[in-house]
Structure 1
């Protein structure tokens, strides 16, 4: 488990792992990054209370750089990646290892179910859980068990993880997808098992969500530059959306200033903006779990923040690469 500024969530996450009903031996290795809150104090207390909890230093802020030393410090033939911002169901490890053995897979992942405590975080969670928000990946929905493109978190066979070299520390976001691509390239199976459930606590503000998704979009573009057509087409949609909306806004401004007469057909350029607004309206009407107008406005704001931040980051990454772009929403 990589840990960075997780004071509100760390203890609950650790206790759900220690309470797993898996009968075999287990340990929890926490990779402690340079937190500015009480995360390290909480980790040291938990390690003092339970010898199964072990601590390793992780001087970098980036997740892949913490996962590799934590994995290397672990001692068992199965490595389970977990997140300090998540809570596992009690049967997660038992069911995941059973699927790993039954299917002969190298990695098994389940469903990420986002949850929220306040109105904004709940709206963001609704975006995560809806195909109108993230969409695409099986682990954001209730798909059928089977071979998968990637896996949320992951329950790995150590020999497979070692065979492909572990996580790439040069990929600061999207490291799961990139690792699973290398596993599949090497002939291994990545398996989606919907019986596995993880509660994920997303960012609690739209500003933090925007910073997170801008970084995610940027590093997805880095993966597109590296792996080309092996990236699914859906990863290109947010960037195209941002270009379309930018075109509409420029046309709207030029039309309002009189530089584009209506007879020139400039109004056609407003189609991307109009269609996107219609799509958001449909999404807000269809996404469940909303109560009243305030929830619907927050849902719309969360969806727009996700789409435009991700798409803007993607365009930045295509043009300039990853550079120094990092997710600063927890720093």
Structure 2
């Protein structure tokens, strides 16, 4: 489909902002306040938080903010998933005058006028969706080490929406904004996905003739997960979701996505047969040395002991993503005869 290239401006009331949350009391206030900023026009834009059943103070904080900012609304997302949360916001909160959807993640800090910049980029570049660049940051020592690791080739694998510097058309990027017309046409997020719902949706948008623009001038600070366990869980879901997309659309993953599970299996085989052919131990030992060298380099570069966390963080990302990817493939193999 083609966007209406004649429109070169927008009304703040035409924008709907969706924020999925689940136990985000540490970040939600800062996230919402960073969106509103000092621009009074932001108060004309409806901001809807869809909470998946938080057991902390997330909902309490949102209700408190809504007393000061009446454009903030809280709804309950009983399916808990982020994908379901965004769909719910569109289905329940979108009004006839809404033309644009901006997705916001509670784990991020947004620059001044982020909402308007995303929509303006959609209009200026005549596209159906806009992706932004994530700059990884950390608060505690582990998060800082993990964030520094993300900025290395071992962390991003060349992904342009992770610290990229160039604006261009992409197949996939970190979701920022959509025209509601294309959103409704393709049906929004697939709620069967626990992760990677963004890449799967991008595929359907492109198949429907839509264009996706990565705007490197719009950047957000993404706060890394606070522990190696939380990071591992996150990347297991990413790997599982990527495998789902691969199976659903019969679309082979890119080499940078296929390499981790391949390397994972290679290391397992090398360790098992290394007791017979000792030279095979060179493969996993080389990987450990690479992780250690990366930690040491980042520790010296940033003049912080936190750099030592980079290696464990990278290992958690690589192994968990690979295990998630392989687990879904195995799951589908054993269930291949089921409808």
Do the two structures share a fold, i.e. TM-score over 0.5?
A: yes
Deviation at 1:163, TM superposition (A): 0.8
The aligned counterpart of 1:270 is: 281
The aligned counterpart of 2:168 is: 146
Q: State whether structure 2 residue 74 is matched by structure 1 residue 55.
A: yes
Q: Quick one: distance in 2 between partners of 1:242 and 1:57? A: 39
Of 206, 211, 214, the match for 2:236 = 214
The aligned counterpart of 1:93 is: 115
1:95-134 correspondence to structure 2 within 5 Å: 95-134=117-156
The aligned counterpart of 1:27 is: 46
Native 8 Å contact 1:26 1:52 kept in 2:
yes
Deviation at 1:282, TM superposition (A): 4.8
- Unaligned 5+ runs, structure 1: 261-265, 324-331
Deviation at 1:304, TM superposition (A): 0.8
Cα distance 1:20–1:233, how it changes in 2: closer, same or farther (>3 A)? farther
Question: SS of the counterpart of 1:229?
Answer: coil
The aligned counterpart of 1:16 is: 34
Q: Quick one: distance in 2 between partners of 1:22 and 1:158? A: 24
Cα distance 1:146–1:7, how it changes in 2: closer, same or farther (>3 A)? same
The aligned counterpart of 1:301 is: 312
1:65-76 correspondence to structure 2 within 5 Å: 65-72=84-91, 73-75=93-95, 76=98
1:250-329 correspondence to structure 2 within 5 Å: 250-252=272-274, 255=275, 260=276, 266-284=277-295, 287=298, 290-292=302-304, 294-321=305-332
Native 8 Å contact 2:296 2:308 kept in 1:
no
- Aligned structure 1 segments of 4 or more residues deviating by more than 6 angstroms: none
Native 8 Å contact 2:59 2:74 kept in 1:
no
Native 8 Å contact 2:136 2:147 kept in 1:
yes
More deviation, 294-303/111-120: 294-303
Deviation at 1:136, TM superposition (A): 3.0
**Cα displacement string for residues 108-139 of structure 1 (whole angstroms, at most 9, x for unaligned residues):** 11111111111111112222333311323211
The aligned counterpart of 1:5 is: 23
Q: If the length of structure 2 is used for normalisation, what is the TM-score?
A: 0.86
Q: Quick one: distance in 2 between partners of 1:249 and 1:308? A: 15
The aligned counterpart of 1:41 is: 60
Deviation at 1:14, TM superposition (A): 0.7
Question: SS of the counterpart of 1:139?
Answer: coil
The aligned counterpart of 1:165 is: 187
The aligned counterpart of 2:5 is: none
Q: Quick one: distance in 1 between partners of 2:199 and 2:69? A: 33
Deviation at 1:60, TM superposition (A): 1.9
Deviation at 1:58, TM superposition (A): 0.6
Deviation at 1:66, TM superposition (A): 0.8
Cα distance 1:181–1:318, how it changes in 2: closer, same or farther (>3 A)? same
Native 8 Å contact 1:152 1:176 kept in 2:
yes
Cα distance 1:284–1:57, how it changes in 2: closer, same or farther (>3 A)? same
